[in-house]
Amino acid sequence: MKNKLDFIDIMHGSDGHHRKEDPNSFEYSYQAEITNVYSLTKTEKLYQIQIADPKLRTKFTFKPGQFVMLELPGIGEAPFSISSSPVRHGDIELCIRGAGNFTNFLSRVQRGTKVGLSGPFGTHFPVEKMHGQDLLLIAGGLGIAPLRSPLLSVLENRSRYGRVDIMYGAKNPDELLFTYQHEEWRRFDINLDITVDQADKQWQGRTGLITEILKERIQESTDLANNTFAIVCGPPIMFRFVCDMLTQAGLPMQKMFVSLERRMHCGRGKCCRCNIGSTYTCIDGPVFDYWSVMNLKEAI
């Protein structure tokens, strides 16, 4: 029958609109495995996730600040910032807080469980653009998860940057993440300041808000306006305070970077759930410079 229309099989036919072999194609994912799980605090765990196929693993590259979608069948799929250094390619670390269905179930699975991984998605912290400049890396709470990737990247390329200050605050000592690495980060050429809002008996370090440390740092600074970049990760009220302080101190808004969070179902600019005003967090973000954030309606 001539009048029967030709069926166009986009998945298998020559009209290969859809590149099946690309794991980032819509609804596809890399097969990956949880190779290790470390408990960091009561609610956060660090997951080492490795892409199963060694070839794809080396091909998987990302920039600090980008995120992946992680999937468990029947449980869910959710976005997470990559927490490890970009040199490790498809063998990544995610620092995840048990907050809902997916994240809570994830905290119960064993090593060796298969997961679906897609990404990397989204914009990144422009660490190359920051070469030669002083850096302020500021994290509050779980904000250290997205910050750890640029942080490690900076440490690995320490000589390319000027002065580096890391400021990290948590509510109390129990909630501090990556404590086992703090000593590593506290190098002669790095200023690491850790503060908690509320100390406990064992706590020897600083107590108080992160903005107090920042105030001291700003006072030491000579030329914030021209020689400094900042990456600020944390809850909106925290980065807003920090960024406003820095702005007042003269740091241009477009030299500060933040990572925003919105509800997401696809990570690929399709589900429309992550829009801020009318900007997609998954494609146009999650990393934005502060100037753009200030110009986005309902961003904070």
Ligand X SMILES: Cc1cc2nc3c(=O)[nH]c(=O)nc-3n(C[C@H](O)[C@H](O)[C@H](O)COP(=O)(O)OP(=O)(O)OC[C@H]3O[C@@H](n4cnc5c(N)ncnc54)[C@H](O)[C@@H]3O)c2cc1C
Question: What is the DSSP code string of the chain?
Answer: -TTSPPP--TTTSS---S-TT-TTSTT--EEEEEEEEEE-SSSEEEEEEEESSHHHHHH----TT-EEEEEETTTEEEEEE--S-GGGTTEEEEEEE--SHHHHHHTTPPTT-EEEEEEEES----TTTTTTSEEEEEEEGGGHHHHHHHHHHHHHTGGGSS-EEEEEEESSGGG-S-HHHHHHH--TTEEEEEEESS--TT--SEES-HHHHHHHHHHH-S-HHHHEEEEEES-HHHHHHHHHHHHHTT--GGGEEEE-----S-SSS-S-TT-BTTB-TTTT-SEEEHHHHHHSTT--
| Comparison of 67 and 161: residue with beta carbon closer to other proteins | 67
The footprint of ligand X on residues 110-169 (CB under 6 A) is 142, 145-146
Q: Is residue 264 involved in binding ligand X (CB under 6 A)?
A: yes
| Interface with other proteins (CB under 8 A), residue from 14, 21, 55, 73 | 73
What is the smallest separation between the CB atom of 122 and ligand X, expressed in angstroms?
A: 6
- Kindly tell me the sign of the dihedral angle through the C-alpha atoms of 53, 57, 59, 63: positive
Q: For the segment 207-246, give every residue that binds ligand X (CB under 6 A).
A: none
What's the CA gap between 277 and 12, in Å, rounded?
Answer: 38
Binding partner selected for residue 8 from ligand X, other proteins, none, CB under the kind-specific 5 to 8 Å limit? other proteins
Nearest residue to the partner ligand X, using Cβ: 100
Q: Report how far apart, in Å, the C-alpha atoms of 128 and of each of 32, 150, 153, 157, 283 are.
A: 29, 10, 10, 10, 20
| 5 near other proteins, judged by CB under 8 A | yes
Q: Is 108 in the site for other proteins (CB under 8 A)?
A: yes
Nearest to 210 by CA among 190, 192, 223, 227: 192
194 binds ligand X (CB under 6 A): no
* Binding partner of residue 266 among ligand X, other proteins, none, CB cut-off 5 to 8 Å per kind: other proteins
Distance from the first to the final alpha carbon of the chain: 60
Could you say which of 77, 134, 165, 175 contacts other proteins (CB under 8 A)?
77
Range in contact with other proteins (rule: CB under 8 A) among 19-27, 151-159, 173-181, 214-222: 19-27
Residue 178 binds ligand X, judged by CB under 6 A: no
Binding pattern for the stretch 29-48 against other proteins, x by CB under 8 A and - elsewhere? x-------------------
Span near other proteins by CB under 8 A; candidates 53-61, 146-154, 268-276, 286-294:
268-276
Draw the binding track, 278-297, toward ligand X (x: CB under 6 A; -: no contact).
--------x-----------
**Tokens 């370090």, located at residue:** 205
CB 120 to other proteins: min, Å:
13
Looking at 59, 131, 215, 263, which residue binds ligand X (CB under 6 A)?
263
In the region spanning residues 18 to 77, those forming contacts with ligand X, defined by CB under 6 A, are 67, 76-77
The residues that touch ligand X, with contacts defined as CB under 6 A, are 67, 76-81, 95-97, 99-103, 142, 145-146, 261-265, 286
The residues that touch other proteins, with contacts defined as CB under 8 A, are 1, 3-11, 15, 17-18, 24-29, 72-77, 99-101, 103-105, 108-110, 112-114, 116, 261-263, 265-266, 268-273, 275, 277-279, 283, 297-298
